[in-house]
Structure 1
């Protein structure tokens, strides 16, 4: 069985039973687009014997069109990058071609340039033009063919109740009001038309990765994340030589998934002496630097940092 789509052709009558433009206009507004299944399923694309294919048994929906690769691999033509001077990235999509008569639905490669940028999928609305659903990308090195290409997954999935399932790197476009669930992070996100906003996420805990040569934290070192907010409790102990006033020391790094949206400053004091300390957190990297003021921090002294919380970067 070759690649096929439905439901427009009445096999028994041998004719179309509904205009395709009318059907798309009716169904696309409430039908999710995506691959049927789960992000944990095998990559729908593969390179087999120097040929890019859509694997057998992969199906999905696009603008109300059901599509399926059938029970055999569907080959996808990808031109070589023989004359290229840089990496070329092609976007592999399911393309609805409304200008064909009758319309066609098929997996194709949208060829990119040699600047390494991935071309955007076509998203024409109305009764003409093309509309494309992302499946993945192939990166062809300069002078290379598909046999030397690297595959990257981009497709998202439609679950059993019509929910959109993806990973943090395969999100669909942020159409207003669209809700997605990331299976690799446990987060549910809501789109506002331009960005994704966190609705809820999986509770998790972690610790600041300390610079062991200078700091330890035998009493308190905990990051706790719940519903987009992170709480930090940290009481570091100086284990190397004294740290003089005005001298900064890298305390450690907050792991990905717990870092603040922007840079943050928190204060604290040295236990017993009361000397003021200031910590700066760089949101993009999670690096924490600590600087004492007025008095130095002697070796083996604890620093009592204020409890802090922040919205998490996602």
Structure 2
């Protein structure tokens, strides 16, 4: 067997991918705050648009759209069920070209998965997600709300920028910065872990009819600490009930529900404070109400998802 090296004296397209595709992440160039690359505007027949003057990278191969908007037409749906299509940026190893393509979904099911055949295998395509498009039965035009952005981005130094609801695929040791939560996340190959983050101290958004004399929430390293003294301003907390008092900010949802074992409100009777991914609640035992002139006071600690 002979040893080879490249790019000197020459490099094939596959060698290029194996070299740069491992050193450079795939993604769009820019920032998650940029306008979504894929959009619909209720014109044409099942048409979506690809914005002009945008760039991306797939496995070390560059893609760019010039000054003209690209139009793509989705297949008709007469199945009787809603279909979800996936819009991808695809590297085709037969032509070594990168283009925007539509992966048609199955009616009644979710969006199909992107194909990511490794360069060491026999597959001819590698895809990254750009968006999903909901195609209703017998629909003729697509509203803007039918398109959901799924793209992540590459910073100037190649770091991955994303949002908590549109992350890159998993690879062990891959890191990314979530611009909407302000945290670094790290992949173990299957799950994303909080690596570095500090949200600073903020207040939870209370629902109408509730006030708080103390309202402090902080997430550091994935651990959330809440100190909340909440009062119902227009009625009593009913006995034997779970009353939602606030929403959980994005990036602070617990991995599982947590609740204080015994929490005393001013007046001497027990109540509880409960946090789930759906919100923050006051829990009152049967036979115990908390009047609107009383404050429920508690602190909780949990790990964010």
Question: With structure 2 as the length reference, what TM-score do the two structures score?
Answer: 0.81
Q: Cα offset for 1:164?
A: 0.6
Q: Cα offset for 1:190?
A: 0.8
Q: Assess, with a 3 A threshold, how the Cα gap between structure 1 residues 285 and 148 changes in structure 2: closer, same or farther.
A: closer
Post-superposition Cα deviations, 1:85-140, rounded to whole Å, max 9, x if no partner, equal 12221111111222x2x433221111111114101111111354211121112222
Q: Which shows bigger deviation, 221-230 or 173-182?
A: 221-230
Of the candidates 181, 185, 191, which is equivalent to residue 181 of structure 2? 185
Q: Assess, with a 3 A threshold, how the Cα gap between structure 1 residues 160 and 290 changes in structure 2: closer, same or farther.
A: same
Root-mean-square deviation (CA, aligned residues, Å) is 2.9
Question: With structure 1 as the length reference, what TM-score do the two structures score?
Answer: 0.79
What is the DSSP-based 3-state SS (H/G/I as helix, E as strand, rest coil) of the residue aligned with 2:161? strand
Structure 2 equivalent of residue 284 of structure 1:
277
Structure 2 equivalent of residue 159 of structure 1:
155
Give the distance between the partners of 1:88 and 1:226, measured in 2 at CA: 40
8 Å CA contact 1:211–1:251 kept in 2: the answer is no
8 Å CA contact 1:204–1:224 kept in 2: the answer is yes
Post-superposition Cα deviations, 1:16-63, rounded to whole Å, max 9, x if no partner, equal x63111211122111110011111112212347524332221111101
Structure 1 equivalent of residue 3 of structure 2:
none
8 Å CA contact 1:234–1:307 kept in 2: the answer is yes
Structure 2: segments with no counterpart, 5+ residues? 1-9
Q: How many residues align?
A: 287
8 Å CA contact 1:176–1:192 kept in 2: the answer is yes
What is the DSSP-based 3-state SS (H/G/I as helix, E as strand, rest coil) of the residue aligned with 2:15? helix
8 Å CA contact 2:237–2:243 kept in 1: the answer is no
Q: State the structure with more CA Rg.
A: 1
Give the distance between the partners of 2:67 and 2:231, measured in 1 at CA: 62
Q: Assess, with a 3 A threshold, how the Cα gap between structure 1 residues 249 and 119 changes in structure 2: closer, same or farther.
A: closer
Structure 2 equivalent of residue 65 of structure 1:
61
Post-superposition Cα deviations, 1:235-290, rounded to whole Å, max 9, x if no partner, equal 3457677779x73452623423344332222122244x544x14141413224233
Structure 1: segments with no counterpart, 5+ residues? 1-16
What is the DSSP-based 3-state SS (H/G/I as helix, E as strand, rest coil) of the residue aligned with 1:27? helix
Q: 1:117 and 2:110 equivalent?
A: yes
